[in-house]
């Protein structure tokens, strides 16, 4: 690759380089031929300090030999490597090529390490010392400049190690925050509150919410004005994680301290605070490791529990055997049935999927659809259907099916009745 817009500089450099080497050779050859000003006693006639004479001996052979070797080396080098203008060299070596090779070698070495993390939940990753060592390095290199090397944040940058979350502390929410970034917007809102006195009064009311020092007369006067703030911070001031509006009752301050001037400043000037997005910088595996690292700092809250753990089924399963996971193949469609509230695949799934895998090798795609029963909470059931579909996808991947050959198709009605027959994931070739 060349930055030159014409051949001129390329030729210019080549001529000077090759010309330079040839000129050195010529000089060697000429100086070996001509013996300038030699007297009969083989001196040049120069005499110093009365007795020091300059001899005129030919160049030593070993020296001439070395010189010729350097010339041969120069030509060999210029033939093999890029040194002459835009000529690439017969080895086609380049800095970017070498860099790319080193990066891909690094990625290859890292792949098995990350592969060991695949399929691990955030909770499991957070307990894995190796994953956390990697998470720590990723955090130090990318996050510490804003959140601090102890992740305890600073003014304007939230503490990630406490249980106080602006945007939520479940694995899902933390992942979402890191992947897509967040922008917290507190608008300048003094005009809606009223006079500067009203603003001070509502500030004292806010201070009273967290038991911070406040003037109770002002606080009582300010209380009705808090209606303006309730849309975001909640009527009780406990915040709203969907908007990133912080809890004002816990005496934890992201943007300042629990004093009147800070609150008045927020109301008067507002604040827009940006957490950058990282999904393009990290691989999905690195994102999971980072999520687990942040979650595991101590402030993380549990994620969504599978339906069975929270909702008691209206009709208890008839018997453990009837509720056990199983797998069947009907008309080329592989059907996985699941235990209540579980996303584990039944034994024998490899064998059941053999035809599907063969179909993919023959160029087809796999379509995965999940169905749920009507028992329990609909949102949790849908989440469970997703997890079951992912479990099937992961199984297909371990059987060598490339991810881009796998499609998810949400059925129009995912509720397929009651009982185990309904709790299923169907896999078909599409
Ligand atoms: C340029 C500064 C900056 C960098 C770098 C940065 N963050 Fe943030 N982060 C912020 C700000 C500012 C917020 C608060 C956003 C808001 O006010 O709504 C934030 C918020 C967060 C939150 C949400 C906290 C809560 O209470 O809900 C998490 C989690 C987080 N960052 C993790 C990370 C991780 C992990 C990295 C490294 C990959 C990172 N951040 C890098 C500035 C940064
Ligand atoms: C449109 C939504 C919205 C409204 C209305 C709103 N806020 Fe906020 N407020 C936010 C957000 C978002 C933040 C977080 C800013 C950030 O990311 O740093 C915030 C931050 C604050 C903070 C700083 C908290 C800290 O931890 O340092 C205070 C204090 C505050 N708001 C008080 C108020 C008061 C008082 C009102 C009403 C007069 C109000 N807010 C109205 C969204 C809102």
Structural domain boundaries of the chain? 7-80, 96-181+277-295, 184-275, 326-429
Of 267, 254, 276, whose CA–CA distance to 204 is shortest?
Answer: 267
Q: From the CB of 160, is ligand 1 less than 6 Å away?
A: yes
The yes or no reply on domain 96-181+277-295 and CATH 3.30.310.40 is no
273 CA from centroid of ligand 1 (Å) = 9
* pTM (whole model) above 0.75: no
Q: Give the per-residue pLDDT at 308.
A: 36
Chain centroid offset of residue 420 CA: 38
Residue with CA closest to ligand 1 atom 30: 178
Residue with tokens 């605070």, as numbered in its chain: 273
193 CA from centroid of ligand 2 (Å) = 13
C-alpha to C-alpha distance for 214 and 190, rounded to whole angstroms: 19
Residue with CA closest to ligand 1 atom 29: 174
Q: Give the per-residue pLDDT at 304.
A: 56
Q: From the CB of 300, is ligand 1 less than 6 Å away?
A: no
> What is the CA angle 103-106-111, rounded to 5?
120
Rounding to the nearest 10 degrees, give the CA dihedral for residues 59, 60, 66, 68. 40
259 CA from centroid of ligand 2 (Å) = 14
* CA-to-CA separations, 104 to 35, 278, 397, 402, in angstroms, rounded: 59, 21, 22, 19
Ligand 1 atom closest to the CA of 278, numbered from 1: 38
Q: Give the per-residue pLDDT at 311.
A: 36
Q: Give the per-residue pLDDT at 310.
A: 37
Task: Spell out which residues line ligand 2, taking CB within 6 angstroms.
Answer: 184-187, 189, 193, 202, 206, 228-229, 231-233, 243-246, 248, 253-256, 263, 266-267, 271, 273
299 CA from centroid of ligand 2 (Å) = 22
C-alpha to C-alpha distance for 301 and 169, rounded to whole angstroms: 5
Q: From the CB of 184, is ligand 1 less than 6 Å away?
A: yes
Q: From the CB of 276, is ligand 1 less than 6 Å away?
A: yes
CB-CB contact of 171 with 122 (8 Å): yes
- Does this chain's domain 96-181+277-295 share its CATH topology with 184-275? yes
Q: Give the per-residue pLDDT at 192.
A: 95
Of 117, 130, 177, whose CA–CA distance to 300 is shortest?
Answer: 177
C-alpha to C-alpha distance for 152 and 143, rounded to whole angstroms: 11
185 CA from centroid of ligand 2 (Å) = 8
Q: From the CB of 157, is ligand 1 less than 6 Å away?
A: yes
- Sorted by sequence, the CB contacts under 8 Å of residue 219 that are 6+ apart come out as 201, 204, 205, 207, 208
What length does the chain have? 430
Two structure tokens written together for 207: 């201070």
User: Which ligand minimizes its atom distance to the CA of 207?
Assistant: 2
Q: Give the per-residue pLDDT at 322.
A: 63
Residue with CA closest to ligand 2 atom 5: 229
Q: Give the per-residue pLDDT at 320.
A: 52
Ligand 1 atom closest to the CA of 282, numbered from 1: 38
* CA-to-CA separations, 171 to 122, 293, 304, 309, in angstroms, rounded: 6, 10, 9, 18
Residue with CA closest to ligand 2 atom 10: 186
Residue with CA closest to ligand 1 atom 5: 143
Residues of the chain with pLDDT under 70: 1-4, 34-37, 304-322
Q: Give the per-residue pLDDT at 307.
A: 39
- Sorted by sequence, the CB contacts under 8 Å of residue 221 that are 6+ apart come out as 198, 201
User: 184-275 is classed in which CATH architecture?
Assistant: Orthogonal Bundle (1.10)
186 CA from centroid of ligand 2 (Å) = 5
Would you identify the CATH topology of the domain 326-429? 60s Ribosomal Protein L30; Chain: A; (3.30.1330)
| b/e map 147-171, b = 16+ CB within 10 Å | beeebebeeebbbbbbebbbbebbb
């Amino acid at each position: 690759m060349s930055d030159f817009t014409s051949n001129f500089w390329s030729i210019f450099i080549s001529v000077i380089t090759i010309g330079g080497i040839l000129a050195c050779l010529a000089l060697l050859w000429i100086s070996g031929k001509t013996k300038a000003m030699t007297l009969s006693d083989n001196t040049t006639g120069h005499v110093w300090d009365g007795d020091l004479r300059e001899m005129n001996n030919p160049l030593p052979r070993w020296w001439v030999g070395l010189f010729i070797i350097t010339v041969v080396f120069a030509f060999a080098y210029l033939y093999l490597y890029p040194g002459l203008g835009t000529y690439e060299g017969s080895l086609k070596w380049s800095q970017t090529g070498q860099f790319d090779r080193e990066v891909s070698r690094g990625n290859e070495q890292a792949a098995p390490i990350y592969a060991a993390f695949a399929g691990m939940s955030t909770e499991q990753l957070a307990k894995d010392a190796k994953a956390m060592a990697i998470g720590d390095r990723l955090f130090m290199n990318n996050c510490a400049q804003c959140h601090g090397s102890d992740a305890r944040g600073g003014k304007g940058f939230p503490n990630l190690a406490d249980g106080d979350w602006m945007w939520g502390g479940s694995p899902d929410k933390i992942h979402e925050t890191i992947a897509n970034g967040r922008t917290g917007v507190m608008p300048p809102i003094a005009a809606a509150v009223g006079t500067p006195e009203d603003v001070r009064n509502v500030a004292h009311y806010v201070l009273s919410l967290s038991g911070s020092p406040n003037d109770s007369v002002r606080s009582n006067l300010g209380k009705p004005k808090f209606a303006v703030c309730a849309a975001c911070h909640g009527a009780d001031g406990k915040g709203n994680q969907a908007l990133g509006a912080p809890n004002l009752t816990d005496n934890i301050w992201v943007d300042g301290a629990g004093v009147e001037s800070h609150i008045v400043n927020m109301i008067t000037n507002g604040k827009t605070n940006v957490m950058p997005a990282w999904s393009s910088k990290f691989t999905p595996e690195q994102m999971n490791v980072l999520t687990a690292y942040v979650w595991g700092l101590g402030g993380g809250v549990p994620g969504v529990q599978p339906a069975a753990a929270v909702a008691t089924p209206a009709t208890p399963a008839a018997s453990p055997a009837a509720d056990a996971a199983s797998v069947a193949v009907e008309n080329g469609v592989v059907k996985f049935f699941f235990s209540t509230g579980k996303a584990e695949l039944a034994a024998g799934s490899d064998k059941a999927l053999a035809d599907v895998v063969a179909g993919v090798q023959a160029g087809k795609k796999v379509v995965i659809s999940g169905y749920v029963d009507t028992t329990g909470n609909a949102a949790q059931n849908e989440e469970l259907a997703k997890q079951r579909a992912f479990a099937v996808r992961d199984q297909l991947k371990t059987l060598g099916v490339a991810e881009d050959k796998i499609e998810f198709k949400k059925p129009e009605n995912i509720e397929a009745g009651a009982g185990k027959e309904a709790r299923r994931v169907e896999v078909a070739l599409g």
